[in-house]
Amino acid sequence: MRIGLLVTGEVSVRAAHSLAAHDGIDQVVVLGPANSKSFEVVVTAAGCDYLVGSGPTAPDIARDHAVPLIWDGTTPEDGVAVWGASPTGLALAMAAREPDPRLVAVAHPDLAIDTFDRTTRFPEPVGRVGVREAQLDGRPVAEAHSPNEFAACLAVGVKRRVTVVDHGHFLSGVALGAGIAVANGGTRAVWEAALPYLEAATDMGLVMAESE
Q: DSSP 3-state assignment of 211?
A: strand
pLDDT tops 80 at residue 126: yes
pLDDT tops 80 at residue 66: yes
Read off the pTM. Answer: 0.95
Q: What is the pLDDT of residue 194?
A: 97
pLDDT tops 80 at residue 212: no
Residues 6+ apart with CB under 8 A from 206: 90, 164, 166, 171, 174
d(CA 171, CA 66): 28
Average pLDDT estimate for 22-42 = 87
Check whether domain 2-85+171-211 has CATH 3.40.50, yes or no: yes
Structural domain boundaries of the chain?
2-85+171-211, 87-168
Given a contact cutoff of 8 angstroms between Cβ atoms, the answer to whether 202 and 22 are in contact is no
Q: What is the pLDDT of residue 133?
A: 95
At 139, the pLDDT band (50, 70, 90 cuts) reads very high
Q: What is the pLDDT of residue 36?
A: 82
Q: What is the pLDDT of residue 10?
A: 87
Mean of the per-residue pLDDT values for the chain? 94
Average pLDDT estimate for 67-87 = 97
What residues does 42 pair with on adjacent strands? 31
